């Protein structure tokens, strides 16, 4: 008996080759189309904040948003294109760029060079803080040592609503502040306190700190 080796060779037909070529062309076309759509989406968010305001409507009239929008600077300029963030209906995906307090000034100074120079000018810097230190800016922020750009300008911060506290059965709630005066309160050391529009504001001197 003679051993014969049979080698399986692919059968090439014109129809098969055409099908493979068509699939390759379709894949390339689909890839190019996806790239084009992504490019259009990126260009759109650089021209308008409308996609962002679908969820972040509370920022539409916020001071920094309004002033930057007038100058043609949209959300994406600072926070990135955020495609994954915008497409996440569960809001689990963070924006491309977010900034902690230690990073805010550096990011702002990339464009606001006059403010950067002012911050280096100790005389002008101290004059400003001498006026506002320990006071609230028009945005409601209390200006203290270590204040950053967004403490003085705008209200550009996401605030999470406080979680409701469970109340034990039979437990009565005690109100410590009546929103008007310091009834039942006692200042410690040289602490200074005041009430403005129902908000309790307190300052501690060095002697009062513990």
Q: Where are the domains of the chain?
A: 17-98, 103-155
Confidence of residue 32 (pLDDT cuts 50, 70, 90): confident
* CB burial readout 66-103, b (16+ within 10 A) else e: eebeeeebbbbebbebbeebbeeeeeeeebeeebeeee
Residue 73: both structure tokens together = 């600077």
Dump pLDDT digits (tens) for 73-94.
999 999 998 888 988 888 889 9
pLDDT above 80 for 2: no
User: Dihedrals φ, ψ of 3, to 5°?
Assistant: -75, 125
Look at residue 70 in the predicted model and tell me its pLDDT: 93
Q: Can you say how many angstroms the Cα of residue 169 is from the centroid of all Cα atoms in its chain?
A: 39
User: Dihedrals φ, ψ of 21, to 5°?
Assistant: -60, -40
pLDDT above 50 for 44: yes
CA atoms within 13 Å, Cβ hemisphere of 37: 7
Residue 197: both structure tokens together = 């529009």
Dump pLDDT digits (tens) for 160-206.
544 455 455 555 656 666 777 777 777 666 767 777 766 767 665 55
Look at residue 141 in the predicted model and tell me its pLDDT: 87
């Amino acid at each position: 008996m003679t051993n014969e080796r049979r080698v399986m060779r692919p059968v090439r037909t014109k129809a098969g080759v055409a099908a493979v070529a068509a699939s390759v062309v379709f894949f390339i076309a689909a890839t190019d189309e996806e790239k084009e759509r992504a490019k259009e989406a990126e260009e759109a968010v650089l021209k308008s904040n409308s996609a962002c305001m679908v969820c972040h409507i509370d920022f539409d009239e916020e001071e920094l948003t309004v002033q930057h929008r007038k100058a043609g600077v949209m959300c994406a300029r600072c926070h990135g294109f955020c495609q994954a963030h915008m497409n996440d209906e569960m809001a689990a995906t963070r924006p491309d760029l977010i900034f902690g307090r230690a990073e805010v000034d550096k990011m702002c100074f990339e464009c606001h060079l006059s403010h950067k120079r002012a911050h280096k000018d100790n005389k002008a810097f101290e004059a400003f803080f001498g006026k506002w230190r320990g006071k609230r800016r028009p945005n409601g922020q209390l200006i203290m040592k270590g204040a950053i750009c967004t403490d003085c300008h705008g209200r550009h911060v996401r605030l999470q609503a406080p979680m409701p506290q469970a109340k034990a059965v039979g437990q009565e709630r005690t109100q410590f502040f009546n929103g008007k005066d310091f009834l039942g309160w006692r200042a410690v050391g040289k602490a200074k306190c005041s009430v403005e529009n129902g908000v309790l504001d307190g300052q501690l001197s060095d002697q009062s700190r513990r």
